[in-house]
Chains A and B, each alone.
Chain A
Amino acid sequence: DAKTTQPNSMESNEEEPVHLPCNHSTISGTDYIHWYRQLPSQGPEYVIHGLTSNVNNRMASLAIAEDRKSSTLILHRATLRDAAVYYCILRDPTGNQFYFGTGTSLTVIP
């Protein structure tokens, strides 16, 4: 069963912010929320992760709802290099098995 739900695809204009949503209504209290992205014909790469508080790094920001049942990955200024499939993943800290869904395919329009 899918642990996270994401839209299949989204579009953004270059240099505009992008908000990628993820629903995880069955999240447990100890699950971490991870985001990875995958460029065509490459392995996924880490973007950001969080538990309860919002997080920022050089790539993106992660906004986590107060009830933790949803989260949003924010790319502040989309570039053409950000065109990829973005995966929202839950991880139980007792293990390190990542369950990848089908992700959101982001298209960036010049």
Chain B
Amino acid sequence: DGGITQSPKYLFRKEGQNVTLSCEQNLNHDAMYWYRQDPGQGLRLIYYSQIVNDFQKGDIAEGYSVSREKKESFPLTVTSAQKNPTAFYLCASSRRFGGNSYNEQFFGPGTRLTVL
């Protein structure tokens, strides 16, 4: 079954610690994305990657870092510099970045991060 997996589903972190959220896809998609969602709000783009070894900042990249060493993996690190990290984090992928017509983003189930 093809899809996107995120782990863990729930994550607790002490203030001042870095934490890495996992995102893996077996859809053979080139593009991957990380979004943050706060309660009652829409999704905001943190980082995206069009291809392996390349990534760009989204609208709210401060306090986050990513890597894209493999096509199927796009981990997100929430650093201690992120002032308010408690949120629901969603990873997505699409066949490619840009281009005409059908370019659906497929989303994982999300990781809910709580900073204690």
User: Residues of A within 8 Å of B, CB-based: how many?
Assistant: 22
Contact between chains at A43 and B108 (CB < 8 Å): yes
- Contact at A93–B108, with CB atoms within 8 Å? no
Let me know if A100 and B42 touch, CB within 8 A.
Answer: yes
Interface of chain A: mostly helix, strand, loop or mixed: loop
B98 x A49 contact (CB < 8 A): no
C-alpha spacing A36/B106, complex, angstroms:
10
Which of B14-22, B65-73, B79-87, B89-97 makes up part of the contact surface? B89-97
Mark B residues whose CB is within 8 Å of A.
4, 31, 35, 40-45, 48, 58, 88, 90, 92, 94, 96-110, 112
Q: How far is the CB of A97 from chain B (nearest CB, A)?
A: 6
Among B35, B42, B98, point to the contact of A93 (Cβ < 8 A): B98
- A92-110 residues with Cβ-Cβ distance < 8 A to B are 93-103
User: Known contacts being A46-B104, A96-B94, is A102 close to B109, with CB within 8 Å?
Assistant: no
CB contact under 8 A between A43 and B100, given known A102-B41, A103-B42: no
CA distance A46 to B103 in the complex (A): 10
Which of chain A's residues have a CB closer than 8 A to the CB of B48?
96-97
CA distance A33 to B115 in the complex (A): 36
Whether the pair B43, A44 counts as a contact (CB closer than 8 A) is yes
Q: A43-B92, A46-B106, A95-B97 are in contact. List 6 more A-B contacts (CB 8 A).
A: A41-B110, A46-B105, A87-B42, A96-B48, A96-B94, A103-B42
